[in-house]
Amino acid sequence: MKNLLYLVIPFLLFSCASKESINNNSESYHPIPTKDVRFNYVDSNSFISHKYLDKTESKIGNKYLVLQVSYSWGKTVESLYRSDNGNIMYYDKKSNSDNLIMPKDPKVGFTWYNNDKSWEYEIVDLNANLETPTKKYSQLLVMRATQIANRDSVKLREYLNYYQKGIGQIASFGNGKLMTYRL
């Protein structure tokens, strides 16, 4: 279960760019992180917490904001994000490349791949409803992430990730079941 969330890391994180260009736009599916966020696993006492570190890091000619992701079982990683004209980009350490994580203006059917072609992403819904153990949501964006190259063998083949405008990631599904949800 712990290894499954390593894919979900990019989808559980918030939009980041240079501090000067981020705005807390209520129309964004990745608003600026302003407080710590926690996601619980459904089937265990495990959780993931995210903390905005208020620092930047340069990679492949781009400046990224850093988000610290901590797991209840002791692992901590730093993830790098930036905005590129409203598109949210994620630095993938495995492929040493900049990858689209969320388009500026998502549309149902929009599909893209990460740079090493190991994952395919598709916007599958812009008006989904979801009930988690803590809250009911409506008008959610649903993104399907499909592993196509088996690069990450400990991860599932497919995930559905739910986002709310002005909030960010809400939940993640794997094998047709709710895996994690935002507190």
Residues of the chain with pLDDT > 70, as a percent, come to: 83
CA angle, corner 88, sides to 157 and 3, nearest 5? 30
Calpha distance 110→65 (Å, rounded): 26
Q: Which residue has the higher pLDDT, 43 or 151?
A: 43
Query: Please, which pLDDT band fits residue 42 given cuts at 50, 70 and 90?
Result: very high
What average pLDDT does the structure give for the chain?
83
Q: Is the pLDDT of residue 148 over 60?
A: yes
Where are the domains positioned within the chain? 5-182
Give the pTM.
0.82
- The CATH number assigned to the domain with range 5-182 reads 2.40.360
Residue 160's region, left for phi above 0, alpha for psi from -120 to 50, else beta, is beta
Query: Mind listing the pLDDT tens digit for each residue in 116-130?
Result: 898 999 999 999 999
Query: Please, which pLDDT band fits residue 32 given cuts at 50, 70 and 90?
Result: low
